[in-house]
Structure 1
Amino acid sequence: MVSSISQRMVLRVVLVAVVLCLLVTSSIAELPRFKHPPKPQQSLNLLVVGDWGRKGTHNQSLVANQMGIVGKKLDIDFVISTGDNFYEDGLKGDDDPAFYESFVDIYTAPSLQKKWYNVLGNHDYRGDVQAQLSPVLNLKDSRWLCLRSFILDGEIVEFFFVDTTPFVDEYFTDPGEHDYDWEGVFPRLPYLSELLKDVNSALAQSKAKWKMVVGHHTINSAGHHGNIEELKHQLVPILEANNVDAYINGHDHCLQHIIEKKSGIHFITSGGGSKAWTGDVKPWNLEEMKLYYDGQGFMSMQITENNADIIFYDVFGNTLHSWSLSKDHNVVASI
């Protein structure tokens, strides 16, 4: 009798352990990993653009043209999009012609026929989110890869793409006239809790020389939207604890580079893919603010073992600002 009870107790403990193991595994698996194919060169080269999908208007086509020129010069490996891929209200479905009108038919340069790694912005959430995540779009254009959150492994650097829209309280409490597609997010608090846990775990386990996080929303910004306090409170402690080198975002329609004095993290905004907000800028500590440009443009990155060189370009391809991030923290300067 005692032996039978003991066996049942042991079985329960084993079952609980298995379930917990499965839950942990499932949680970590929430961040899919993509490994970028290595190429025989000393640096990993890429472009970053955000807030672009306006069917070629608001200088989107001009920015795309300059991206093609710079992309060819640098022989880029891929493109990162910081979100708000389709204005004003995302895609209506995976057959929405806006996918061609704002993406396929705009970024036509040979140098841009590389993989595009995309996150969702708040405007994308106003449409059919599943449409942007659908593999059908990849069949239409093999460059397209969009998930809520994921990891891009570039060997010397890992990019951690984070779904930032569900963090913003206003979209839930005061959405105004906008309808957001929260399917896959509700219940919200468990979704955010799991996401933060997964991001923290992935960053902690990363062995990459460089760790960079990509999200749509601003954390530190002198632009129109400014600092998103929900991200400062919930995500920034994770960035600091895991020695993240840079947080890259869009949302504010500008080009911006801030080096936070306290943490040393580089907060980089590339949200000038189309419509810009001229003159919409708030005061900021000039010791931290290295660039604020209120026009259209994009950014390039060239990453090696020891340096990550960033360059911001305007709509005419002129260099606005360049900077070299170094793993020798005593050598961080403009280039």
Structure 2
Amino acid sequence: MARLCSSTSSNSVFIWTCFCVLVASNLAEFPRIKHNTHRNDDSVAFLVVGDWGRDGNYNQSRVAKQMGEVGKKIGIDFVISTGDNFYDTGLKSVNDPRFETSFSKIYTAKSLQKPWYTVLGNHDYLGNTEAQLSPALRKMDNRWHCKRNFIVGAGYADIFFIDTNPFVNDYFINAKKQKFDWKGILPRENYLAAVRKDLDSALSKSRAPWKIVVGHHPMRSMGYHGDTREIVDQILPILEAHKVEMYINGHDHCLEHFSNRKGSMQFLTSGGGSKAWKNKFHYGVHNNASKQFYYDGQGFLSVKLISRDKGALVFYDVYGKPLYSIKVKA
């Protein structure tokens, strides 16, 4: 490799060096964040919301208020965002006022003043992705933690956050008039191979009783977008091989629970943070054995991991009413 980088052309050296650096950055292991819970044991509680950032409109503020109430009631440790954090075109820069008008000034409840662990959605890629990934935002609001791929270790759980956007073929071959910001992603195939490899490696090293994976796009959904075939083909086998307990996503603006036909994995959609009620469904995609719950509306999800092998999930609507609950086992 060193011999190849030593080209006789200075331009070739520069181009090849940039390529080597880019590939090396793509092959870096997932960074890990250790989240210390406020309890004496290793139990952990958190909320999940997705597809929210609309300056408080489309009932975003109402959902935020109810999140605050539920967060206080169950004593959450943090919040997870499943992406599409700022509509319609992400953030323009770290100084974009939408960071305050759609986040800091909306989620103001005391119980929500905890870390927000966040992935990017496709709408975030229509803006400046590096702005959302920048540590500068944390100086404005220290709750904000956004990376492309990372791990949060909290109590009984290891939570693996993955950027699913680069897996979706349509964003590259049928993008229409949309302009995605792919800085840090190209060459795409190298990036995707690195994510698969690093996810597989990270899951194999984890000794946590609960392994949870978070991404923007659904693997199982009867909502407007339906299944995301690329991550079903490329990511699901990795999760099944490592007996992941939950895959949590947004993208479809609804609330859903599916169980896996193979193994015990739960598929959970929490994309009801603001605009919803699309009233378009993919009936017949999944059999009755896998579909457990579907709600075409706004709301959010709470997760409590009570012990090494027992957990409780509850979906809430925009009024804070529990719509559906389930007890799960690791």
Partner of 1:3: none
Note the residue ranges of structure 1 that are not aligned, 5 or more in a row.
1-24, 328-335
Residues 53-85 of structure 1 show CA distances to partners (whole Å, capped at 9, x for unaligned) of 000011000000000000000111000000000
Distance, in Å, in 1 between the alignment partners of 2:156 and 2:26 is: 25
One-letter amino acid of the structure 2 residue matched with residue 58 of structure 1: Y
Q: What's the CA shift for 1:279?
A: 2.1
Note the residue ranges of structure 2 that are not aligned, 5 or more in a row.
1-23
Q: Which shifted more, 174-183 or 255-264?
A: 255-264
Q: What's the CA shift for 1:39?
A: 2.3
One-letter amino acid of the structure 2 residue matched with residue 37 of structure 1: N
Q: Is residue 2:288 matched to residue 1:300?
A: no
Distance, in Å, in 1 between the alignment partners of 2:290 and 2:40 is: 33
Partner of 1:332: none
Partner of 2:74: 74
Distance, in Å, in 1 between the alignment partners of 2:185 and 2:308 is: 37
Partner of 1:315: 318
Q: What's the CA shift for 1:28?
A: 6.8
Structure 2 counterpart SS, 1:190: helix
Q: What's the CA shift for 1:260?
A: 1.5
Q: What's the CA shift for 1:287?
A: 1.8
Residues 165-184 of structure 1 show CA distances to partners (whole Å, capped at 9, x for unaligned) of 00000000011111000000
1:163-202 equivalences under 5 Å are 163-202=163-202
Q: What's the CA shift for 1:320?
A: 0.5
Output the TM-score relative to the length of structure 2. 0.90
Output the TM-score relative to the length of structure 1. 0.88
Q: What's the CA shift for 1:289?
A: 1.1
Given that 1:244 and 1:265 are in contact with CA atoms closer than 8 Å, whether structure 2 keeps it comes out as: yes
Query: In the superposition, relative to structure 1, how do residues 68 and 223 fare at CA in structure 2: closer, same or farther (>3 Å)?
Result: same
Structure 1 counterpart SS, 2:311: strand
1:246-261 equivalences under 5 Å are 246-261=246-261
Distance, in Å, in 1 between the alignment partners of 2:92 and 2:25 is: 31
Given that 2:301 and 2:313 are in contact with CA atoms closer than 8 Å, whether structure 1 keeps it comes out as: yes
Q: What's the CA shift for 1:285?
A: 1.7
Given that 2:224 and 2:278 are in contact with CA atoms closer than 8 Å, whether structure 1 keeps it comes out as: no
Partner of 1:17: none
Q: What's the CA shift for 1:306?
A: 1.8
Equivalent pairs counted in the alignment come to: 304
Distance, in Å, in 2 between the alignment partners of 1:113 and 1:164 is: 27
Given that 2:45 and 2:303 are in contact with CA atoms closer than 8 Å, whether structure 1 keeps it comes out as: yes
Given that 1:296 and 1:314 are in contact with CA atoms closer than 8 Å, whether structure 2 keeps it comes out as: yes
| Larger Rg belongs to | 1
Q: What's the CA shift for 1:288?
A: 1.4
Distance, in Å, in 2 between the alignment partners of 1:97 and 1:117 is: 20
Residues 225-277 of structure 1 show CA distances to partners (whole Å, capped at 9, x for unaligned) of 10111101100110011111110000000000000222321100000000103
Q: Percent identity over the alignment?
A: 52
